[in-house]
Amino acid sequence: MPGATAISGFRERFGEPADTPALVALINVAFRPEQIAIEGDRINAEKLQPFFGKGKFLALEDGGGLAGCVYAEVRGSRGYIGLLAVRPELKGRGLGRRLILLAEEHLAGAGCLVADLRTISARSDLVPMYKHLGYEETGTTPMPPEISLKIPCQFINMSKPLRPSGPQS
């Protein structure tokens, strides 16, 4: 994958359907803090499979397996970023920032002009992190009725303009 220097000791690659068990485990452990608001695990193998047909998982791995992942999907001139997950013991080492950068580069390379993401309002700690990465709040969206909530919350939508990839003049 092109772009900024990789983080030492971690290999960058695209996730594959064979990674499903590792992706499900990684995403669910990383999304445990959401359980203050949302009942149960974030994803299972069945819910994960359609993602492979619509977009790409970008992954970092080390000797211990998957260290982090993020999902990127081209939606016309806009790209969507989601399911950012880093093994809890590796947080604070820049892996999340690196994964977001990889997703942005992938989307820009596919012609996207803007990257969109969303987080839940119960995770107010994530908004400042995404703002630090250049994202701005663009509004809110209600939670889908099929999501079992423990407390009232909504999605906070955020966007960031992307630079076109390729040679710059």
Q: Which residue reads 């081209």 in tokens?
A: 74
CB-based contact 1:7 (threshold 8 Å) = no
Residue 145 in any domain: the answer is no
Residue 98 in any domain: the answer is yes
CATH value at residue 17? 3.40.630.30
The DSSP call for residue 129 is H
Q: What pLDDT, on a 0 to 100 scale, did the predictor assign at position 29?
A: 93
What is the overall mean pLDDT for the chain? 90
Residue 45 in any domain: the answer is yes
Nearest one of 103, 98, 1 to 55, comparing CA atoms: 103
Enumerate the β-bridge partners of residue 134. none
pLDDT higher for 123 or 21? 21
**Confidence category of residue 33, pLDDT binned at 50, 70, 90:** confident
Q: In what order do the strands lie in the sheet with 56-62?
A: 11-14, 56-62, 65-75, 78-86, 114-120, 154-161, 136-142
Q: What pLDDT, on a 0 to 100 scale, did the predictor assign at position 166?
A: 52
The total number of structural domains in the chain stands at 1
pLDDT at 165 > cutoff 60: no
Q: What is the pTM of this model?
A: 0.90
Q: What pLDDT, on a 0 to 100 scale, did the predictor assign at position 161?
A: 97
Domain extent at residue 108: 11-117
Residue 132 in any domain: the answer is no
Residue 54 in any domain: the answer is yes
